Structure 1
């Protein structure tokens, strides 16, 4: 190639670099909402792709773990309950290692939490029962009736 052709190629390259650089600097920055929208779009697409597989796994776990015991399992359950009863009566829990004690303690706590969470669900309130403001107990009604009967006599 001739020197002139190299010069032209050089000029074109420089022009393209300048043009590309100007395009890069001319782009506006994304604001916070646009960044969040891009981020949530990526997360949504990922979870939309993974959800069917995860739901199948979850359904499988629910069917196995939350199913009621089968009649064939009743003998094993009875044996386990009797074993726990013997351990508590004879004080064999004193011979447990720290790890075993922590595991059994965690199981007891889990069962207790089931009870408390079940109570909260049954009450439909976290702190106590919801009592209507117009509620009057039976004892209070009787006391009011006695006072009204005494005042009328």
Structure 2
């Protein structure tokens, strides 16, 4: 009985020390994450809309002039990964929004066979 109490006390001490280590390891990284998340994840303000419009126009001009043909393999790969990330985020949002993996529930659109 006494040995079990000692083992439990030792386990509790190790858990507390591990939790302190995890907290001291993650605190600076979490602060860095929040610093960038506040800047990068906010929607554009009205004063930034001309820059957004200019960026979209640059993409359209690049597509028309064939500038995309002169990209390096690395730039193409990075652009492809960004596009895939956008598609996956949109798809995940749709799945969460409709609360189903397949299709929307439209009342009256499906008549089960009797």
Residue from 102, 108, 114 that aligns with 1:128: 102
TM-score by length of structure 2 reads 0.67
Alpha carbons of structure 1 residues 89 and 130: separation in structure 2 relative to 1, 3 Å: closer
Higher RCO (CA-CA < 8 Å; seq separation 6+): 2
Report the equivalent of 1:140.
111
Aligned-partner SS, 1:67 = coil
2:81 is the alignment partner of 1:106 = yes
2:90 is the alignment partner of 1:119 = no
Structure 1: which 5+ residue stretches go unaligned? 1-30, 145-153
Residue from 32, 35, 53 that aligns with 1:78: 53
CA-based RMSD of the aligned residues comes to 3.8
TM-score by length of structure 1 reads 0.53
Question: Take 1:56 and 1:96, find their aligned partners in 2: how far apart are those partners?
Answer: 35
Range with greater deviation from structure 2 (108-117 or 56-65): 56-65
Alpha carbons of structure 1 residues 82 and 56: separation in structure 2 relative to 1, 3 Å: same
Displacement of 1:105 after TM fit? 1.2
Question: What pairs up with 1:1-153 in 2 under 5 angstroms?
Answer: 40-125=15-100, 127-129=101-103, 137-138=108-109, 140=111
Displacement of 1:115 after TM fit? 0.8
Larger Rg: 1
Structure 2: which 5+ residue stretches go unaligned? 1-6
Question: Take 2:99 and 2:15, find their aligned partners in 1: how far apart are those partners?
Answer: 33
